[in-house]
Structure 1
Amino acid sequence: MQVAQLTKYDKHNLKLEMVAVAPPQIADHEVLVKVTAAGVNPLDNLISRGEIKLLLPYKLPQTAGNEMVGIIEKVGKNVTNFKTGDRIFARLPLAKIGAFAEYVAVDAKALAKVPAYLSDIEAAAVPLTALTIMQAFELMNIQAGKTIFISGGTGGVGAMAVPLAKAKGLRVITNGNALNAERVLKLGADQFLDYKTQDYTQELSGVDYVLDTLGGAETEKQMSVMKKGGRLVSLRGMPNGEFAKRTGLPRWKQLLLGVAGHKYDKLATKYGVHYYFMNVESNGAQLQEVAEIFNQKQIKPSIDTVYPFEQVNEALEKVDRGHSKGKTVLTFSDVK
């Protein structure tokens, strides 16, 4: 079978190599999946650059790709909740990624069944982003009726976060290019701010939760619009000591990240808020909850560009350029 592998960490060259390998063998707790589509994410490029190898030290060569949808072709003897022929999707376990492949062996605990109304391409856009949001909501300890600000909410994360936040009963505010305002408001946003003409630090105050998709100087700006005791989860900031302890990293990494993330902890103290960094993990039960919300709300993921698997490097370049209006997806067959 063909896989797309990372063979060398390189900040200046994101290209993966197409390699022929034997199909994987499954363990008793795993299933063998024929991949039909895979989501392409900024995370894939972060891994290739080696920017997060302190957190995720993959031994190279490593088949790339973090999320996929496909059909189960074989089940391990200890798997009881899935069967051959099931259409499933997953954010692959951190320790065993490899979605950019024609077949993948996956721990059944990472899987969920795809809502019937979603195409494979649409389904491939869901797992990583949706689980990121659900796990961010857990860290925020969200309560219905309160307000969340989703920064830069016109891309793939925002397109997923807005309807999920509404499904959880939150008041949703986001910002971005005004050209996308109508689309985002249709997703359920209660308020949209044009980042070119409206400064959210002047428009907002007393926000309960923030999902920070921007990082950099924007993280402090977002803290400034929050109420005391508010919770900010950053997808683009710096891991800190709290993150290291929460995820069970070794003591030396806890100390290192405690130093690295001190700037953000200091800012959080300044504004009287809580700062969290997260690295989304596989969770089939949580993804099944997402699938049920999708079925109830008939949510349609936003798709930007679709590439055949053979053009994986073009897809990675597309994601790296940014300014997406949704998810970039790879297809492994003539799916719709």
Structure 2
Amino acid sequence: MQAIIYREYGSADVLQLSDVSRPIPNADQVLINVYVTALNAADWRLMTGKPLPLRFMTGLFKPKQSMLGTDIAGIIEAVGRNVTQFKVGDAVLGNIWGSGASGLSQYICVPEHMLVLKPANVSFEQAAATPMAAVTALQGLRQGHIAAGQNVLIYGASGGAGTFAVQLAKHFGATVTAVASAAKHELMRSLGADQVLDYAKDDFASNGQRYDLILGVNGYRSIFSYKRSLTPKGRYVMLGGDMSQIFQALALGKLLSIGSTKQLSNLTAKTNQADLAKMSFLLANGDIKAVIDRSYPLAEAPAAMRYLQAGHAKGKILIKLHAEQAVEQRG
């Protein structure tokens, strides 16, 4: 089978299309014929080995694992003897982070608890684009104590997690302000945002508005600006962004929350089958949708990674491991 592998840290040039052995599932795994994989910011960080402290987990001088890709959708080809939730022929989606498998390979073996059934009315593309981004958005909103009637600000709302956060906040009954580039304002409104701000021109921290919950998803604003823009009992949750935003949340979030009714924290998203099943249900009902910017064949994964790193994507970037016709016929 074919897979994208990398044996050293670096730019997308380190990614190589290679022939590798097809895996065999153990007793607690399923074998999946992967149709579609979605890229996430975690993929390019693993590829580059940055920030450097990440290498204490992934390999100090070279990656311990040679494959990337966490969000997948495909068909189960075989099941181990202890598997109870799925059978051969089931269409599934999942977040395989931590499994040791790679979504950028045509076949993978993973534990069943990382998967849920793909709804029949949901495409493989929509299914693959959902797991990590949607569950991260859900867990961030939950950590921020999302509730109906709240005013919610989502900074960096046009990426994968941001587009889901806008939709989920509306689903929970909040009034949503999305911050994104001017070119993405129409998209934000189509997802339900009540107000859209241009990050290059509109300063949310000085417009007098206060928010019950702020999600920092992408880009960078000072943690002090976020705190100043919260209501007296408001919460800020950092889901991602550039390294300055991440560092400030990790280093200062707890400190700035001491003695304050305003709480500032960072989210450590976790794979969770129940949360993934909830997102699959909302997809099937049409309550949320994955925003897909563009798709690439497996051989063009380096080009897809370069586009992801550029930071201008509207929603998700997909890698298709099979011909379009084959995906449609078996979907």
Q: TM-score band, normalised by the shorter chain?
A: 0.7 to 0.9
Q: Verify the 8 A CA contact 2:237 2:266 in the aligned structure 1.
A: yes
Matches within 5 A, 1:1-336: 1-10=1-10, 12=11, 15-51=14-50, 53-54=54-55, 56-57=57-58, 60-203=64-207, 205-214=209-218, 216-236=220-240, 261-269=250-258, 272-335=261-324
Counterparts of 2:81 and 2:88, CA distance in 1? 12
| Structure 2 Cα separation of the partners of residues 14 and 212 of structure 1 | 30
TM-superposed deviation, 1:171: 2.0
Say what the alpha-carbon RMSD is for the aligned residues: 2.6
Aligned length: 318
Task: Report the alpha carbon displacement of residue 260 of structure 1 after superposing the two structures with TM.
Answer: 9.5
| Residue 280 of structure 1, CA deviation | 2.7
Stretch deviating more after TM superposition (173-182 or 38-47): 173-182
Q: Alignment identity in percent?
A: 28
Q: Which has the larger displacement, 142-151 or 262-271?
A: 262-271
Rounded Cα–Cα distance in structure 1 between residues aligned with 2:316 and 2:218: 17
User: In the alignment, is the contact (CA less than 8 A) between 1:215 and 1:234 conserved in 2?
Assistant: no
Kindly indicate whether the alpha-carbon contact (under 8 Å) linking 2:12 and 2:306 is maintained by their aligned counterparts in 1: no
The answer for unaligned runs of 5 or more in structure 2 is none
Aligned-partner SS, 1:232:
strand
CA apart distance, 1:305: 1.4
**CA–CA distance in structure 2, aligned partners of residues 204 and 26 of structure 1:** 57
Does the aligned pair in 2 maintain the 1:219–1:237 contact within 8 Å? Answer: no
User: Counterpart of 2:136 in structure 1: which amino acid?
Assistant: T
How far did 1:334 drift? 1.9
Structure 1 contact 30–75 (Cα < 8 Å) conserved:
yes
Give the drift of 1:309.
Answer: 0.4
CA-to-aligned-CA distance 1:31-78 (integer Å, 9 cap, x gap)? 110000100122111111212525742552421111111111111222
| Alignment-mate amino acid for residue 171 of structure 2 | A
For 1:152-194, what per-residue CA distance to the aligned partner results, in whole angstroms no more than 9, with x for missing partners?
2123222211112222222211111233223211211122123
CA distance in 2, matches of 1:212, 1:319: 19
- Answer with 110-119 or 38-47: which moved more: 110-119
Check whether the contact 1:234–1:277 (CA below 8 A) recurs between aligned residues: yes
Structure-1-length-normalised TM-score? 0.85
Q: Please give the alpha-carbon distance, in whole angstroms, between the structure 1 residues aligned to 2:299 and 2:120.
A: 27
C-alpha displacement of 1:13: 5.4
Displacement of 1:328 after TM fit?
A: 0.8
CA contact (8 A) 2:216 2:238 kept: yes
Q: CA deviation at 1:283?
A: 1.7
